[in-house]
Amino acid sequence: MTTATGSIVRFEGASKVFPGNGRGGEVRAVDGVTLDIHEGEIFGVIGQSGAGKSTLVRLINALERTTGGDVVVDGVSLGALNEARLRPVRAGIGMVFQQFNLLASRTVAGNVAYPLEVAGWPRARRDARVTELLDFVGLSEKAGVHPSALSGGQKQRVGIARALATNPRILLADEATSALDPETTRGVLDLLQRVNRELGVTVVVITHEMDVVRSICHRVAVMDSGRVVEVGESYQVFSVPSHDVTRRFVATALRDRPSPEVLARLRTRHAGHIVTVGVDEAAGSSAVLTRTLREHGVDGTVVFGGITEVAERPYGSLTVELVGDPAAVDAAVAALRDVTWLDDHGRAAA
């Protein structure tokens, strides 16, 4: 865990419980989270659908209020603030959304100007700021058009310009690239990186896309059932994941693990004992796998898998058919479990 030094957002045992629907069953969307987000970083929040990512991030700008614990933003404890005193805190936090949430009836410039109008900026200053922002996001030529005439990537650039209008120190991005194709995603990620580097804005990104984290996030928190189950430098978390959710997340992104259908097909072709073995730098490299099998007199054939690099370190898994004396195969499986994670798919039914 990090210290409070340099924290711009600090969750202190923060919880958000949504009341049940009358039939009981309250939802602990965020459950006792303690976490620091450092000033000036790009921080990723990942986890499966319903893990509590959006709720956690919405606690930062008090779109959701904590029901337990506290959230401290820039030294200000949000728990104690009423709506009026939350306003200046919210003004220091921009937000972008998956569906862009632009006003269809306003032009691009009108959308970017909107938060400045709400904040009471005089016309001339507002116009100058809008010009500057549209230039920053590369959309000066589109100032006068309506959002319907823009591509998805352009709409998100407008969303980002609008979120930056009042010079926030924090930008929250909730699945900001999920509605975009990979190429457009790259452009928007580059822009978020510029927001971070050139404007010094702390960026908090919610995503289900491994590539987003891999390419721009300095640190990442992994959520499961309202809790943060892992947090750290992105490469550390992905190359040596200590939690099942993280492993599954990486596996989905790498597509290195056989689906049940693939496994069924593998079984029709391979009669031996099938296991999937984690491969990374810290635990079980493929050399360790080969050596372990040799020591136990077991033959191993790779039947499925993929190894990629995370921060220039090997990461992935291999699915291997093990053939040999059943006791030796069991001993090899046990030995592999000692050095890395292993999913035992057993052998095909006779």
Tell which residue, 196, 224, 255, has the closest CA to residue 38: 196
Closest CA to 150 of 184, 192, 117, 108: 108
How many whole angstroms separate alpha carbon 124 and alpha carbon 4?
40
Q: How far is the CB of 225 from ligand ATP (least distance, A)?
A: 9
Instruction: Verify binding: residue 232, ligand ATP, rule CB under 6 A.
Output: no
Q: Which of 253, 293, 250, 302 is nearest to 274 (CA)?
A: 302
Provide the residue type at 214 as one letter. R
Q: Other CB atoms closer than 10 Å to residue 144's CB: what's the count?
A: 10
Pick the closest to residue 144 from 127, 169, 166, 164 (CA basis): 127
23 belongs to the binding site for ligand ATP (CB under 6 A): no
- Which of 14, 29, 250, 279 binds ligand ATP (CB under 6 A)? It is 29
The one-letter amino acid code at 322 reads L
Question: In this chain, which stretch among 53-61, 113-121, 144-152, 334-342 interacts with ligand ATP, using CB under 6 A?
Answer: 53-61
- Nearest approach, Cβ of residue 54 and ligand ATP (Å): 3
If you search the block for the tokens 């100007």, which residue do you land on?
Answer: 113
Q: Is 55 in the site for ligand ATP (CB under 6 A)?
A: yes
End-to-end CA distance of the chain: 50
Contact region with ligand ATP (CB under 6 A), list: 44-52, 253-261, 298-306, 330-338: 44-52
**Is residue 221 part of the contact set for ligand ATP (CB under 6 A)?**
no
Q: Which CB sits closer to ligand ATP, 68 or 306?
A: 68
Q: Residue from 49, 82, 148, 268 that binds ligand ATP (CB under 6 A)?
A: 49
Task: Give yes or no for residue 52 binding ligand ATP (CB under 6 A).
Answer: yes
29 vs 274, beta carbon nearer ligand ATP: 29
- Between 55 and 239, whose beta carbon lies closer to ligand ATP? 55
DSSP for 118-132, please give it.
HTT--HHHHHHHHHH
Q: Is 50 in the site for ligand ATP (CB under 6 A)?
A: yes
Give least dist CB 211 to ligand ATP, A. Answer: 16
Q: Which stretch binds ligand ATP (CB under 6 A): 3-11, 50-58, 140-148, 159-167?
A: 50-58
Residue 174 token pair: 């909730």
Candidate residues 9, 42, 51, 59; the one interacting with ligand ATP per rule CB under 6 A: 51
Phi-psi region of 212 (alpha: psi -120 to 50; beta: other; left: phi over 0): alpha
- Stretch of 6-14, 47-55, 123-131, 307-315 contacting ligand ATP, by CB under 6 A: 47-55
- Pick from 2, 12, 17, 18 the residue near ligand ATP by CB under 6 A: 18
Closest-CA residue to 139 (of 175, 116, 147, 121): 147
Q: How many residues does the chain have?
A: 350
Among 7, 31, 53, 69, binds ligand ATP (CB under 6 A): 53
Residues that bind ligand ATP (CB under 6 A): 18, 27, 29, 47, 49-55
